[in-house]
Amino acid sequence: MKKTPIIALIGNPNSGKSSLFNQLTGLRQKVGNFPSVTVEKKSGPLMLEGQTEATVVDLPGLYSLYPKALDEQVVIDILANPHHEDYPDVVVVVADASNLKRNLLIFTQVADLGLPVVLALNMLDVAEDKNLQVNAVKLAMKLNVPVVRINARVGEGLDNLKKAIVQTLEKPTSFQKYYFDPAEQFPELIKEVKKSSQLANNYLALHYVQQHDIFSFLSTEKRVGFDKLIEKYDFKESGFQAAETMHRYAVIDGLVKESVKTTDNFLVKPLWTQRLDNILLHPFWGYAVFFLVLLTIFQAVFTLASYPMDMIDAGIASFNDWLKETLPPGLFTDLLTDGLVAGIGGVVIFIPQIAFLFLLVALLEESGYMARVMVIMDKLMRRFGLNGKSVVPLISGVACAVPAIMSARSIGNRKERLLTILVTPLMSCSARLPIFTILIALVVPATPVLGFFTLQGLTLMGLYLLGLLSALLSAWVIKGWVANTEKGYFVMEMPTYKVPRWYHVGLAVWDSVKSFVTEAGKIIVAISIILWVLATYGPGDSIEKAEEQVKQENPMLQGTELDNAIAAQKLENSYAGHFGKFIEPAIAPLGYDWKIGIALLASFAAREVFVGTMSTIYSIGSEADEDNGTIKARMRAEINPKTGKPMYTPALAFSLLIFYVFAMMCMSTIATVYRETHGWKWPLIQLAYMTVLAYGLAFLTYQLLS
Ligand code: GDP
Ligand code: MG
């Protein structure tokens, strides 16, 4: 039996491919209402009729088979290579019916490759809003392929689409004629290529001539061979490509005229879309609205999320107390309560904030507003050597730098892409959020500002803006050091405004919470246990001696105070304590003591560990009494032994905040930058400059504030 057939989804960015993919496979590929959401191919199973299983492959969007950016190259690399594991048996070209002319370009190219094609007409509802009537039957007759009307957003027309796929698999429509035949102008060249590479298709042969450099499956000798051919026939690559595109558009123009009717020529955009765009893209009001939107988001993260957070915090504290009372006292109970539960509590408590943040960001993405933000930011970005498309990585960086850095693949210009990768980790990711909020809540009062906002919300936004600002400034500084070989450009098409789909928004929230809990959770649990061991045991009999030591030094202490002092001394004498003391001299200028030193070290692998570590350390360092249970309360109760005053002064808290704004405490990001830049040079440079920034600015902050 033949292997399962491959169905590839190809089409313009934002035409609905990933939505269709999700509908067909039941999987959850990320969908967003702006171009270049998908940067990697993704496959999933599809049940066709009669229990035939097929594999659907969702591909990055592209306007033409000549790729402009890295993410688009994968498409032609597959289509030009019949031996590729994803080489399609049927291509479904997903076309935005409200913009048919531009969407048909890629259709004619795929059809010219001789691939069996089904045309899926999507966004018909949008077309209707623009007063466009698309005649699918006429189009099918003209194009000589099955044309199916679908709505990928709600899943209409899927049965017909599947039928068309099966029909095409069983009996592909025979190839009739090229929309554009390169052999008309270069018969000898095409003939020679077809012979030497054993190709049957003229247009495929043309792509071997035009794009052999990016074909991963060709040997170097073959590539050199093509270069010689180009010289021999005096073939002008870019000129010919332009001529091809012009020719195709001329053909498509005729097709569209016959199959699309406009009931009203004037209303290309609905009036309210235009009105909204006039404001949101306005050189002043656009920024003002964006600023207000940001402010509202951060305030909501603070205010609304604080209710569930307080509940979780208190719940975990009382659960821990209950465990301590119920279980027999001993090492195991300590490990469970002070190590594990305290550490896990440090993760769980931040779920409401992360969920809120991503709920709001997903709403912006789905509604189409994010695309407007990219446009107004392009001018600004350019000044710093970046590109309007850098906004996507930068904004995704607020969630996590790892997928954000990968999404930079959609930036065509090599230099702008590299700069974007280098500065994206400065955007405050969700792992920083817990650190920010807990420290802000400790030292910044919740004073109301302008009614709805509070000082805490403003401070939080300030930290995020600081991240953004430093990302832009770093790009501007590094810009001078990276050679530029290509010209950058920014083409971005405005998607229509759409009512967000709650299902997609829900998924986005669920995914971010899930990955925070599982990814961060794994590390945090592991580190909490290791840390508990390191904080409970010490070299030689130093732990046992702690009690004597305290009693000798402070003979007056009694009761809880004595217990606390002994616990603190034990921690100091432990392995972790020695560790912290060892690095204390290096971090003392920033205002940190050895306990914070332990947390810094532990969070080097991933910053989300910081709060969990603090909570483990402080629960070991002090015997929990009633109102001392929550992390915040423990941090608030921490006394600086040198001054006798609370440890967490504004100077210390801000010094830590600044440190975490800049420090590259994340192994996964380093690994991702290594992968995306193919070497250690850039990740190491990035690690170095971020560390220097973090240390230097935290130092300044502490010295200035104290
Ligand atoms: P891709 O870039 O081609 O993968 O497109 P996506 O699947 O990410 O979809 C882009 C946006 O279009 C999302 O906001 C979808 O919800 C929306 N969308 C997809 N299909 C339709 C449709 O038929 N009608 C409307 N109105 N919106 C759609
Ligand atoms: Mg997509």
Atom of ligand 1 nearest to the CA of 22: 7
**Ligand nearest to the backbone CA of 497:** 1
> What is the predicted pLDDT for the residue at 328?
86
Residue 440 has pLDDT above 50, yes or no: yes
Q: pLDDT band at 168, cuts 50/70/90?
A: very high
Q: Is the CB of 152 under 6 A from ligand 1?
A: yes
Q: Quick check: pTM over 0.95?
A: no
Q: Is the CB of 649 under 6 A from ligand 1?
A: no
- Protein residue with least CA distance to atom 28, ligand 1: 153
Atom of ligand 1 nearest to the CA of 9: 3
Q: Is the CB of 19 under 6 A from ligand 1?
A: yes
Q: How far is the C-alpha of 439 from the C-alpha of 164, rounded, in Å? A: 59
Q: Is the CB of 96 under 6 A from ligand 1?
A: no
State in Å: Cα 120 to ligand 2 middle.
Answer: 15
In this structure, what are the phi and psi dihedrals at residue 481, rounded to the nearest 5 degrees?
A: -95, -10
Give mean pLDDT, residues 346-371: 80
Residues 132-160 pLDDT 10s: 889 999 999 999 999 999 999 999 999 99
> What is the predicted pLDDT for the residue at 366?
84
Residue 200 has pLDDT above 80, yes or no: yes
55 near 5, Cβ under 8 Å? yes
What separation in angstroms does the CA of 440 have from each of 67, 293, 658? 46, 21, 12
CA 690 to chain centre: 20
- Protein residue with least CA distance to atom 22, ligand 1: 123
User: Ligand 1, from 10, 14, 58, 93: best to mutate by most atoms within 8 Å of Cβ?
Assistant: 14
Pick from 272, 297, 377, 425: which is nearest to 34 by CA?
Answer: 377
Domain ranges in the chain are 6-170, 269-537+574-706
Give the least confident one: 148-162, 264-278, 655-669: 264-278
Q: Could you tell me what percent of the chain has a pLDDT over 90?
A: 32
Residue 626 has pLDDT above 80, yes or no: no
Residues 87-139 pLDDT 10s: 999 999 999 999 899 999 999 999 999 999 999 999 999 888 888 889 999 99
Query: Highest mean pLDDT range out of 37-41, 52-56, 428-432?
Result: 52-56
Q: Is the CB of 151 under 6 A from ligand 1?
A: yes
Q: How far is the C-alpha of 66 from the C-alpha of 210, rounded, in Å? A: 9
> What is the predicted pLDDT for the residue at 385?
85
- SS3 state at 42: strand
Give the least confident one: 72-86, 135-149, 166-180, 259-273: 259-273
> What is the predicted pLDDT for the residue at 406?
80
| β-pair partners for 56 | 7, 44
Residue 697 has pLDDT above 80, yes or no: yes
Q: How far is the C-alpha of 243 from the C-alpha of 499, rounded, in Å? A: 40
- Protein residue with least CA distance to atom 24, ligand 1: 123
Q: Which amino acid is at 145?
A: V
> What is the predicted pLDDT for the residue at 505?
85
Q: Is the CB of 157 under 6 A from ligand 1?
A: no
Burial bucket for residue 644 (CB in 10 Å: 0-12, 13-18, 19+): exposed
- Protein residue with least CA distance to atom 11, ligand 1: 33
Query: Highest mean pLDDT range out of 190-199, 545-554, 592-601?
Result: 190-199
State in Å: Cα 215 to ligand 2 middle.
Answer: 23
Q: How far is the C-alpha of 19 from the C-alpha of 501, rounded, in Å? A: 11
- Protein residue with least CA distance to atom 6, ligand 1: 16
Q: Which amino acid is at 601?
A: L
Q: Is the CB of 130 under 6 A from ligand 1?
A: no
**Ligand nearest to the backbone CA of 93:** 1
**Ligand nearest to the backbone CA of 371:** 1
> What is the predicted pLDDT for the residue at 488?
53
User: Ligand 1, from 9, 31, 42: best to mutate by most atoms within 8 Å of Cβ?
Assistant: 31
Give the least confident one: 451-465, 612-626, 660-674: 612-626
Q: Which residues contact 492 (CB under 8 A, 6 or more apart)?
A: 35, 371, 374, 375, 378, 388, 389
Residue 495 has pLDDT above 80, yes or no: no
Atom of ligand 1 nearest to the CA of 37: 2
User: Ligand 1, from 9, 22, 123, 153: best to mutate by most atoms within 8 Å of Cβ?
Assistant: 153
The number of beta carbons lying within 10 Å of the beta carbon of residue 324 is: 17
70 near 217, Cβ under 8 Å? no
State in Å: Cα 211 to ligand 2 middle.
Answer: 24
Under CATH, domain 6-170 is a member of which superfamily?
Answer: P-loop containing nucleotide triphosphate hydrolases (3.40.50.300)
Q: Is the CB of 29 under 6 A from ligand 1?
A: no
Q: Which amino acid is at 176?
A: Q
